[in-house]
Amino acid sequence: MYVLGIDTSCDDTSFSLIEDDKRVIKNTVFNQNELHRIFGGVVPEIASRKHIELIEPLFTQFMTSIQFRPENIDLIAVTAGPGLIGSILVGLSFAKGLSLSLRKPIVGVNHVEAHAMSIFLEKNVDFPFVALVVSGGHTIILLVKDYCRYEVMGSTRDDAAGEAFDKIAKFLNIGYPGGVVIEKIAKEGIKDYVNFPRPMIEEDNFDFSFSGLKTAFLTYIRKNPPDEESLKHVLASFQEAICEVLAEKTIKAAKKFSVRRIVVGGGVASNTRLREIFIEKGEEEKIEVFFPSPHYCTDNAAMVAITGYYYYKRGLTSPITIRGFSRMAIPSTYV
């Protein structure tokens, strides 16, 4: 079965074609980073207008590059939310158009769930597992019980972890996306140079909060303007605080639910230091930690395609009237 995945949840326009859940024929991501560098971040209105401009030519280019005829697509899986609603509506409308013209079923996919399922593009993981989805828009802990069955156990009360990286980078004017730039600069830095707070690490819940940490960072920088050398150390300390909280709380969740497996997904999951800390702490607790390859951590349509495939296999598709949504929800319109 050939599944076309479409993701336009934020600034990336992505298409993917997969064969069952076994093979990614192609995954292509067109990002608008050059544009965002000008503004130091994603401007929703600009992102959705770019999607409108690009979606059709990119789709044609994608299908031509793999010499695949649209009539041979068996299922269309598309992000229905959460994300930037303007951007989502572009991808969703395009997918509906394809579904109607090709007379093929459509599945609206939850983008956060897709990040948690992206691991299945490369590996098998037994259920149940705890998933941490950590990206520019979300920091969410899920308890994944089976394909298409999960519960939200905790989430951020303010900024997402990736958002904290992005905001700091914008403030320092060091580039976009913030997490990527900060990881590079922090590589040689001293991790305990500044003892930044570890927000909510001890609290008996699975929620996060990163806006206080961001403020602590900004206060420190204003009091101690960094030079090139000390900036490495301050950023390494900031990255350490974020990564430690993410790993500590996710492992706590796994222990609480007596689950021995953790899957980490989302753009921040490509951070090398986060991976190291998770693996180290996981080994101590005898919990196996799984990470997708970095190109399946950041936004991609292959994860949307595989998630849609699992819904279809359980007889769950969406009506053509499926609506987009901006905040975390389970698409309520599976029929």
Q: Which residues of the shown chain bind ligand KG4 in the complex (CB under 6 A)? A: 10, 135-137, 162-163, 165-166, 177-180, 183, 266-268, 270-271, 298-299
Q: What is the DSSP letter of 126?
A: P
Q: Are 83 and 232 in contact (CB under 8 A)?
A: no
271 contacts which partner out of Zn ion, ligand KG4, none, CB within 5 to 8 A by kind?
ligand KG4
Cα gap 204→71, rounded to integer Å: 52
Task: Closer to Zn ion by CB, 179 or 189: give it.
Answer: 179
**Shortest Cβ 146–Zn ion spacing (Å):** 22
Task: Closer to Zn ion by CB, 18 or 268: give it.
Answer: 268
Q: Which residue is nearest to ligand KG4 (CB)?
A: 179
The angle formed by the CA atoms of residues 312, 314 and 317, to the nearest 5 degrees, is 40
Per-residue binding string, Zn ion, 151-190, x by CB under 5 A, is ----------------------------------------
**Shortest Cβ 64–ligand KG4 spacing (Å):** 26
**Shortest Cβ 256–ligand KG4 spacing (Å):** 26
Per-residue binding string, Zn ion, 96-135, x by CB under 5 A, is ---------------------------------------x
- Tell me how crowded residue 223 is: count the other CB atoms within 10 A of its CB: 7
270 contacts which partner out of ligand KG4, Zn ion, none, CB within 5 to 8 A by kind?
ligand KG4
**Shortest Cβ 12–Zn ion spacing (Å):** 9
Task: Closer to ligand KG4 by CB, 63 or 77: give it.
Answer: 77
What CA dihedral angle connects 43, 47, 53 and 57, to 10 degrees?
150
Task: Closer to ligand KG4 by CB, 72 or 293: give it.
Answer: 293
Largest CA distance in the chain: 62
Give 28's strand partners. Answer: 15
Kindly state the tokens that stand for 324: 């987009």
Burial-class residue 102 by CB neighbours within 10 Å (0-12, 13-18, 19+): middle
- The verdict on whether omega for the bond into residue 82 sits within 30 degrees of 0, i.e. cis, is yes
In the chain, where does DSSP find H-type helix?
A: 33-39, 44-65, 85-102, 111-117, 161-172, 178-186, 211-223, 228-256, 272-285, 294-297, 301-313
Q: Are 140 and 249 in contact (CB under 8 A)?
A: no
**Shortest Cβ 7–Zn ion spacing (Å):** 8
Q: Are 278 and 245 in contact (CB under 8 A)?
A: no
Cα gap 7→306, rounded to integer Å: 12
16 contacts which partner out of Zn ion, ligand KG4, none, CB within 5 to 8 A by kind?
none
183 contacts which partner out of ligand KG4, Zn ion, none, CB within 5 to 8 A by kind?
ligand KG4
166 contacts which partner out of Zn ion, ligand KG4, none, CB within 5 to 8 A by kind?
ligand KG4
Q: Which parts of 276-305 interact with Zn ion (CB under 5 A)?
A: 299
Cα gap 228→300, rounded to integer Å: 34
Half-sphere exposure of 268 (CA within 13 A, CB side): 27
Task: Closer to ligand KG4 by CB, 177 or 324: give it.
Answer: 177
**Shortest Cβ 160–Zn ion spacing (Å):** 10
Task: Closer to ligand KG4 by CB, 86 or 128: give it.
Answer: 86
**Shortest Cβ 298–Zn ion spacing (Å):** 7
Task: Closer to ligand KG4 by CB, 137 or 331: give it.
Answer: 137
User: What is the amino acid identity at position 80?
Assistant: A
Task: Closer to Zn ion by CB, 217 or 291: give it.
Answer: 291
Enumerate binding residues for Zn ion (CB under 5 A). 135, 299
